[in-house]
Structure 1
């Protein structure tokens, strides 16, 4: 499977060039364009002729996290090929360390680390769907308020509000020294009891400083479930493991991805309905 690249790593781009009959062949010209998430482009060098007939490669050093589009264009013969690549954030959130994930899956070697890390990150997103942010990260969001006693931030728990800036030219924001936040509810309010007004951009840190064992335990069960499911076809095993990992009811938004046993462990930290 193709997994995201680390930010700053070199991505090896590959593409076939085929003639109208579908036969691999070298082209008179070969170019590749990488479109970054911000819309800018890069054009890595392409060796022509390639080392292997019709199979072209180019190396691209990643510099921006997110989804990239890769577009190959050949002439003589006319051919094109489009692909995508993903790049991790500098510090992608994960509830379990790679060592913990590998140990729980009983993997003795590191040969599957790329896949383990991918499914470990998927596991984190699945847990946070139910609990809100676990791994601390920076969140930026805008709110329009008029004489409000408090503004409720969308992602809880909130560890700290680091900036409240005015979006509109000429308007004023608020000093965080004059504000307080209820971390559990995400309510931001003025210490002097006054109201908040304006189109405001809030920058804050959401997540937890300590992760309880029921959350890491639930994450381990989900990781094991996803790992068994996606590898079942390779080993002839029953997808999803035994009855301890069975899922008897679909979960809105996640289908059958989360075993019931994991949900039971996460229950003490489940978000109330309608809370992110």
Structure 2
């Protein structure tokens, strides 16, 4: 089952948090909600919302680093440069850090297509709070005519872009971790 952004924070909860009492903005707010979840995922480099992932990568040492974590299940691995070669998911293992390797059969090698499911089994309670704050920042700054509106894209701090964006700082503050590359 593929989850939706509303599995992290419901549209109704978002409306209550933003003090929106009418339904005329629901479609737009739903788009902002999905974007806020995507922002938190991007900044944390974690998949919150359960989804199918297709990744193409090269393995030369028998292992392959999967890019979207946490990995819930590998569903298939096929070679793109050796037609007919594939690996059974039951003979594969994946580390917590996303390193995939074969326990049985030939080692992973060459240009590979990996299909897998990624996402958290349970979203920690502070993640919806981070989504709320990112959503509020985006809603306030992206809607013309609102106090403090300035346009741009989510995560865009404007100016010279020399430091972390307001969205990144919000996520760091709520989730309590400094992310790689941030001093």
Aligned match of 1:225: 137
Aligned structure 1 segments of 4 or more residues deviating by more than 6 angstroms: 249-252
Is 1:258 matched with 2:167?
yes
User: 1:221 and 1:133 mapped to 2: Cα distance?
Assistant: 18
Higher strand share: 1
Q: How does 1:175-254 map to 2 (within 5 A)?
A: 175-182=88-95, 184-192=96-104, 195-231=107-143, 233-235=144-146, 237-239=147-149
Identify which of structures 1 and 2 has the higher relative contact order when contacts are C-alpha pairs closer than 8 Å and 6+ apart. 2
CA contact (8 A) 1:142 1:199 kept: yes
Pick one of 157, 164, 170 that aligns with 2:83. 170
Judging changes above 3 Å, is the alpha-carbon distance between structure 1 residues 215 and 125 closer, same or farther for their aligned structure 2 residues? same
Q: CA deviation at 1:223?
A: 0.6
With the length of structure 2 as denominator, give the TM-score of the two structures. 0.78
Q: CA deviation at 1:180?
A: 1.1
Counterpart secondary structure, 1:100: helix
Aligned-residue CA RMSD (Å): 3.0
CA contact (8 A) 1:153 1:188 kept: yes
Higher helix share: 2
Pick one of 12, 37, 62 that aligns with 1:124. 37
With the length of structure 1 as denominator, give the TM-score of the two structures. 0.54
Deviations 1:63-95, CA, capped at 9 Å, x for gaps: xxxxxxxxxxxxxxxxxxxxxxxxxxx975453
User: 2:124 and 2:160 mapped to 1: Cα distance?
Assistant: 26
Judging changes above 3 Å, is the alpha-carbon distance between structure 1 residues 102 and 174 closer, same or farther for their aligned structure 2 residues? same
Q: Give 5+ residue unaligned stretches, structure 2.
A: 151-156
The number of residues matched between the two structures is: 171
